[in-house]
Amino acid sequence: MSVVTGKSALSPVSEAVMDVLGIEAFSGASGVCPGGVWDVVPPDQPFPYAWFLVSEVPDRTYGRFGQVLEVQLHVFTQADGMRSGQLIMATAISLLNASAPSVTGFAFQYLDHLGTVPMATFLVDNIRTYDLQARFEVLVMETD
């Protein structure tokens, strides 16, 4: 059984990811991912869009002052093939790697891209939909 001591960084890391990827150049109407970036995807969201989730990594909290988290970022597209999804994901990875996100109540230590893999394709309204997933590890330290 894993025990997380201290305060949780789940919400502050989610907010930091949204701050980085929620910029107009990425997820705005004229950005590479015009469907936006979401942690909860609205019904009937137009493609392409990005969805992310943040989870704590058990038994890797480095005591009560630090927390390791995993961020999973998915890009969903209905364009032919994976090329457009790969462009969107490459832009997201570049933005996340280039920033030192502000994580409220925590000092950001690092964000490490662990890999990107294509997931299964599926049909939405009889249109082939592609899912590309990237995983990141994040370390934050409590500041107060």
First to last CA, the chain: 26
Return d(Cα 27, Cα 23) in angstroms, integer: 6
Its pTM stands at: 0.88
Architecture of domain 10-142: 2-Layer Sandwich (3.30)
Q: How far apart are CA 74 and CA 28, in angstroms?
A: 17
pLDDT averaged over the chain? 88
Cα 17 from Cα 53, distance rounded (Å) = 10
Structure tokens at 67: 């927390």
**Which burial class, exposed, middle or buried, applies to 7 when counting CB atoms under 10 A from its CB (0-12, 13-18, 19+)?**
middle
Q: What is the mean pLDDT of residues 111-134?
A: 92
Q: Is the dihedral of CA 76, 78, 79, 82 positive or negative?
A: positive
Q: What is the pLDDT of residues 81-100, one digit of tens each?
A: 889 999 999 999 999 999 88
Question: What pLDDT shows up at residue 1?
Answer: 44
Q: Give the SS3 label for residue 119.
A: coil
What does the angle CA 56 – CA 58 – CA 91 come to, to the nearest 5 degrees?
A: 40
The 10s digit of each residue's pLDDT in 43-82 is: 888 999 999 999 987 655 555 577 889 999 999 999 988 8
